[in-house]
């Protein structure tokens, strides 16, 4: 029996994942959902820094001791996506940022010496790669591939949908979204854009029949110390928490990796620089800053009244 619209939800990658599928048989939809969940959980088991037996955790633990770790094809694709993000962002997107994140989000502010020592552990060029293997050059280095890994997997699931002959689909991996086609009777998938001050509310919606949306921002993950907010996002170029006046950036692009990379970098820039960055990329985007909201790249024409997230 063909299903008009089905929704499959499950936990993976440390977040809630939802697959919205239209116009396929019930058996085919369920087969795709099971295959997608299995793929995400398998990648999580290899890439999560929160799992002590994962590939990433083992690489981090062995940093600086000379041990090479063999890679599977999907691991190579992940590291290449990390390298590409680092190059394209001029070092602003750096998966070796974890030592600095741990330093700044601790219980006390770092001393200048602690900051200098930790900054020396951050830098993608210190990730040593050879065909089919990787290692970290210095003791204390650590990778966090959670963000780019989730974006890469959103794009991967769209290709998996091809294998199951699914044309109309919306993939939502904890706010990283990829869409194709449309649900029955609609011109596209209606996506709520979360309010930066309250993720349970939306400030606008967009309808899309193809492409991806990624959002980056401080949200609820920052910490307060001595009456001052310490931003969740750390700029690897300065070694300090982002304090540019940009609170949240949403980007629409052809694929989720590109959207996520641009949104993440824009959050580290001033509002004006973030606006220029998105405009130069030629894609729509929104910037929530302390001085107001900025709409970039014709996104205003895509916005619709808000609805609950």
Closest CA to 285 of 247, 255, 260, 251: 251
Question: pLDDT-based confidence at 227, cuts 50/70/90?
Answer: low
pLDDT tens for 257-277 read 999 999 999 999 999 999 999
> Does pLDDT of 72 surpass 80?
yes
8 A C-beta contact, residue 132 and residue 70: yes
> Does pLDDT of 197 surpass 60?
yes
User: How far apart are the C-alpha atoms of 192 and 256, rounded to whole Å?
Assistant: 16
Query: 55-144: CATH homologous superfamily?
Result: ApbE-like superfamily (1.10.3980.10)
Burial of 268 (0-12, 13-18, 19+ CB in 10 A): buried
Span(s) in the chain for CATH 3.10.520.10: 187-304
- 103 SS3 class: helix
Calculate the CA 191 to chain-centre distance. 17
Question: Topology of domain 187-304, per CATH?
Answer: T-fold (3.10.520)
DSSP classification of residue 110: P
Question: pLDDT-based confidence at 3, cuts 50/70/90?
Answer: low
- Tell me the average pLDDT across 46-74: 97
pLDDT tens for 133-160 read 999 999 999 999 999 999 999 999 999 9
> Does pLDDT of 220 surpass 90?
no
Label residue 94 left, alpha or beta by phi (over 0 means left) and psi (-120 to 50 means alpha): beta
Cβ neighbors of 154 (< 8 A, separation 6 or more) are 171, 173, 176, 177, 178, 212, 256
Calculate the CA 270 to chain-centre distance. 20
Q: Lowest-confidence range among 24-28, 230-234, 292-296?
A: 230-234
The pLDDT value recorded for residue 309 is 44
- 255 SS3 class: coil
DSSP classification of residue 115: H
Q: What is the pTM of this model?
A: 0.93
Task: Express as a percent the part of the chain with pLDDT over 90.
Answer: 86
- In whole numbers, what is the pLDDT of the chain averaged over residues? 93
């Amino acid at each position: 029996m063909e299903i008009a619209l089905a929704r499959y939800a499950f936990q993976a990658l440390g977040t809630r994942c939802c697959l919205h599928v239209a116009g396929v048989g019930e058996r085919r939809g369920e087969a795709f959902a099971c295959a997608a969940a299995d793929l995400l959980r398998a990648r999580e088991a290899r890439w999560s820094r929160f799992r002590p037996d994962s590939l990433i955790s083992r690489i981090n633990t062995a940093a600086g001791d000379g041990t090479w770790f063999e890679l599977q094809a999907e691991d190579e694709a992940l590291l290449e996506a990390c390298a590409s993000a680092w190059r394209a962002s001029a070092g602003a997107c750096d998966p070796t940022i974890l030592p600095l994140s741990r330093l700044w989000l601790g219980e006390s502010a770092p001393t200048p010496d602690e900051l200098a020592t930790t900054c020396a552990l951050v830098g993608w060029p210190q990730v040593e790669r050879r065909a089919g293997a990787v290692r970290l050059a210095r003791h204390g280095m650590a990778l966090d591939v959670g963000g780019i890994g989730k974006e890469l997997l959103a794009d991967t699931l769209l290709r998996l949908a091809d294998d199951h002959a699914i044309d109309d689909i919306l993939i939502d991996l904890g706010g990283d979204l990829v869409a194709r086609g449309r649900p029955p009777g609609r011109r596209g998938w209606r996506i709520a854009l979360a309010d930066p001050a309250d993720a349970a509310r939306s400030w606008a919606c967009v309808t899309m029949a193809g492409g991806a949306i990624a959002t980056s921002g401080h949200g609820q993950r920052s910490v307060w110390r001595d009456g001052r907010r310490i931003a969740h996002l750390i700029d690897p170029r300065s070694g300090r928490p982002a304090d540019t006046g940009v609170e949240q950036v949403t980007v629409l692009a052809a694929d989720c990796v590109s959207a996520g990379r641009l949104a993440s970098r824009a959050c580290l820039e001033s509002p004006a620089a973030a606006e220029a960055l998105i405009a130069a990329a030629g894609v729509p985007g929104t910037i929530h800053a302390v001085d107001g909201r900025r709409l970039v790249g014709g996104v205003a024409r895509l916005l619709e009244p808000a609805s609950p997230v």
